[in-house]
Amino acid sequence: MRSTWFRYSMLIGAIALLGVAAFYFATYLGLSIAVRNSGLTAFYQQTIRAMWLAFCLQACLLGALYTLVAFRPRAISRPVIVICGLLPMVEAVMMFSYTKSFVAMTLLTIAALFVLLGALLWPSAYKVDASVSVTEAPPDLTTRASP
């Protein structure tokens, strides 16, 4: 039961982050038009576009990471997931303080909370496959071979 809740927590976090990425990918055209008409120099225009796309790709990569962890928890360590789970929380605070975007802030907060919940519910034991058998004994490492 615990592993099921862990999997759902990670998948909810992944879906929330992928929703943020989709939202910002969909609004990229509007950003591009606004930046072009802003009167900023070309360097600043390209920097804003690059950071917008980098934010979107970061959300996609974290969503993919959380999806991987939902199905293979031992692929990534728990501390890495906790750190990656705190990133959306920081982004949510910054998103709300600068843009007052409740949609992005809510999705980022949901992602962070469910990933941190998933870290608390992290599976502690491997499932052992009963069909696997050992055919020979492991070598005895307590005796030394004489030179």
pLDDT at residue number 33 = 94
Reported confidence tier of residue 80, pLDDT bands at 50, 70, 90: confident
Percentages helix, strand, coil for the chain, rounded to the nearest 5?
A: 75, 0, 25
**Cα–Cα distance measured from residue 84 to residue 14, given in angstroms and rounded to the nearest whole number:** 11
Q: What is the pLDDT of residues 22-38, one digit of tens each?
A: 988 999 999 999 999 99
How confident is the model over 12-30, as a mean pLDDT? 91
Query: Among candidates 95, 26, 15, 21, which has minimal Cα distance to 56?
Result: 21
Predicted pLDDT of residue 142 = 67
The answer, yes or no, to whether residue 99 has pLDDT greater than 90, is no
Where in the chain are the domains?
2-26+56-120
- Over residues 36-64, the mean pLDDT reads 92
Higher pLDDT, 102 or 50: 50
Residue 49 has pLDDT above 80, yes or no: yes
Compute the CA torsion angle 108, 14, 116, 114 (nearest 10 deg): 80
Question: What angle in degrees, to the nearest 10, is found between the helix axes of 2-26 and 28-36?
Answer: 40
The three-point CA angle 17-72-132 to 5° equals 170
